[in-house]
């Protein structure tokens, strides 16, 4: 399951980030990495951005990035 398939307001744990090195590093510097628990806040229609809570950080990421983040409920 990836981040775009999770319902709004649901919490989940990151299993893997199937992106390039650059994306993994960028997310890592913000504290978004495998093993971390995140909460999805909203998603925008027509493949719009997804917003999440990770720790005390609120983050908006593009649909494509969200798809590369594999999570488990």
Partner 1 sequence: MSNKILLVGNPNVGKSVVFSRLTGVGVISSNYAGTTIEIARGSLKIGEEKYEVIDVPGTYSLDPSSKAEEVAVELLKEGNLIINVLDSTNLERNLNLTLQLIKKNIPMLLILNFWDETKHKGISIDYKKLEEIIKIPVIPVCAITGEGVNEIINRVKDAKTSVYNFNFEENWKIVGELVDSVQKLSHKHHTFSDRLSEITIHPVTGIPAALLILFFTFIIVRFIGEGLVTRVLDPLFNLYYHPFILKLFSSLQPEFLKQILIGKTGVVMESFGLLTTAVYIPVVIVFPYILAFYLVLSFLEDFGYLPRVAVIFDNIFHRLGLHGYSSIPVMLGLGCKVPALLATRILESEREKVITTVLILMSAPCMPQTAMIFSLGAKYGVHAIFMIFFILFVIAVVTSLILNLFLKGDAPELFVEIPPYRVPRIATLLNKLWFRTKGFFSEAVPMIIAGVFIINIMDIIGFTGLIAVWIGRPVAYLLNLPENIVSVMLMGFLRKDVSIALLAPLGLNAKQFIVSSIFLVLYLPCIASFFTLLKEMGAKVTFKITFVILTIAFCTAFILNRLL
Residues at the site binding partner 1, with contacts judged by CB under 8 A: 22, 25-26, 28-31, 33, 41-42, 44-49, 51, 55-65
CB atoms within 10 A of CB 24: 17
Question: Where on the phi/psi map is residue 9: left (φ > 0), alpha (ψ -120 to 50), or beta?
Answer: left
Q: How far is the CB of 12 from partner 1 (least distance, A)?
A: 18
When the beta carbons of 57 and 72 are compared against partner 1, the nearer one is: 57
Distance in Å, CB of 38 to partner 1, minimum: 13
Report the alpha-carbon distance of residue 73 to residue 28 in Å, rounded: 21
């Amino acid at each position: 399951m990836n981040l775009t398939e999770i319902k709004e307001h649901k919490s989940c744990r990151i299993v893997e980030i199937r992106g390039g090195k650059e994306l993994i590093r960028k997310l890592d510097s913000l504290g978004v990495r495998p093993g971390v628990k995140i909460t999805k806040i909203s998603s925008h229609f027509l493949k719009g951005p997804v917003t999440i809570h990770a720790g005390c950080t609120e983050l908006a990421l593009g649909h494509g990035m969200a798809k590369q983040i594999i999570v488990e409920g």
